[in-house]
């Protein structure tokens, strides 16, 4: 069925996948803040059962979480959310965490990508990758077996996992040449690099938003960033990260209002 929201666009469902500790939540948290600063209205679904310290619910109090952590309960919760987004036509982003997730179990049960697209939902699968070849496991398995390979696939190379002093191109050279990356690229996948923020942990450990951090707000520990770290965050938040987002196809993102400036103060 053809499903359109009130603006004539298909509802967007962005699902971020990847190994543990590749920066899935860091990417989705920053993207959510960026889009909301620019007037985007969408729902945050947090199904990450392993990360209780810096999950999406910590940074976005309106995030919706399943009531139970039992994998079968979470799988049923996901199915209900997918039906809901198709029926109600809103945009959403989903953090599923890593490991043997309920989403992975659901993908084994049904052709999820094709089903969501038949329901009129624009599914965007985001693979967050580090420079380790093992970070390609999800991408290779999903694409090679046609398990979870929609039309919209975004590869995010996490520059924060690159050792200081190495260029992104050199660090990700082998990853970029992997057959699974070449296959999805030929099918139309987009690729971006999330720029490194050296003080990322100082921001997230204080449970701060990026705009608040650069403007000198106190974090959960009652402390602010140093003046130099505030300058680093300001450059990253107002220039580097927006540049990366501008390279993502706009129809793959929750819709942003054209009159929102997104300056963050």
User: Of 207, 225, 205, 202, which is closest to residue 215 (Cα–Cα)?
Assistant: 225
Q: What is the mean pLDDT of residues 244-248?
A: 97
pLDDT at 262: 61
What pLDDT band is residue 66 in, cutting at 50, 70 and 90? very high
> How does the average pLDDT of the chain come out, rounded?
90
Separation between Cα atoms, residue 188 and residue 251, nearest integer Å: 14
Work out the number of other CB atoms within 10 angstroms of the CB of residue 2: 7
Q: What percent of the chain shows pLDDT beyond 70?
A: 94
E strand residue ranges, 60-202: 92-95, 122-129, 152-158, 190-194
Cβ-count burial 70-105 (b if 16+ within 10 Å, e if not): eeeebbebbeebbeebbeebbbbbbbbbbeebbbbe
The listed range with the strongest mean pLDDT (130-144, 160-174, 241-255) is 241-255
pLDDT at 48: 86
Q: Domains (ranges, CATH) in the chain?
A: 12-196 (3.40.50.300), 198-250 (no CATH)
| Contacting residues for 127 by C-beta, under 8 A, at least 6 apart | 17, 18, 138, 139, 153, 154, 155, 156
- 201: tokens are 């942990």
Separation between Cα atoms, residue 139 and residue 157, nearest integer Å: 13
pLDDT at 1: 45
Each residue of 48-62: pLDDT tens digit?
A: 877 767 789 999 999
Say whether pLDDT at 259 is over 60. no
Are 194 and 159 in contact by the 8 Å Cβ rule? The answer is yes
Each residue of 198-227: pLDDT tens digit?
A: 999 999 999 999 999 999 999 999 999 999
Residue indicated by tokens 């696939």? 153
User: Of 13, 81, 92, 20, which is closest to residue 55 (Cα–Cα)?
Assistant: 20
What pLDDT band is residue 264 in, cutting at 50, 70 and 90? low
Q: What is the mean pLDDT of residues 98-122?
A: 90
β 152-158/122-129 pair status = parallel
Q: What is the mean pLDDT of residues 95-106?
A: 84
- Alpha-carbon 15 to chain mean position: 7
């Amino acid at each position: 069925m053809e499903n359109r929201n009130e603006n004539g666009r298909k509802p967007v469902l962005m699902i971020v996948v990847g190994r543990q500790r590749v920066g899935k939540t860091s990417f989705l948290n920053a993207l959510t803040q960026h889009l909301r600063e620019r007037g985007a209205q969408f729902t945050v679904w947090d199904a990450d059962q392993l990360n209780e310290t810096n999950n999406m619910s910590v940074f976005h109090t309106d995030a919706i979480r399943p009531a139970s952590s039992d994998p079968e309960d979470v799988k049923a919760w996901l199915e209900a959310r997918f039906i809901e987004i198709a029926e109600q036509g809103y945009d959403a982003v989903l953090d599923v965490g890593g490991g043997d997730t309920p989403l992975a179990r659901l993908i084994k049960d049904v052709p999820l990508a094709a089903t969501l697209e038949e329901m009129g939902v624009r599914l965007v699968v985001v693979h967050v990758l580090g420079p380790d070849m093992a970070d390609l496991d999800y991408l290779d398995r999903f694409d090679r077996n046609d398990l979870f390979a929609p039309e919209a696939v975004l590869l995010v190379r996490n520059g924060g996992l690159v050792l200081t002093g190495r260029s992104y191109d050199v660090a990700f050279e082998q990853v970029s040449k992997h057959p699974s990356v070449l296959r999805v690229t030929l099918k139309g996948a987009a690729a971006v690099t999330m720029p490194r923020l050296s003080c990322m942990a100082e921001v997230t450990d204080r449970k701060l938003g990026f705009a608040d951090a650069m403007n000198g707000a106190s974090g959960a520990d009652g402390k602010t960033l140093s003046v130099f770290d505030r300058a680093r965050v300001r450059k990253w938040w107002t220039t580097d990260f927006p540049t990366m987002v501008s390279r993502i196809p706009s129809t793959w993102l929750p819709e942003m209002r054209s009159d929102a400036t997104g300056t963050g103060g």
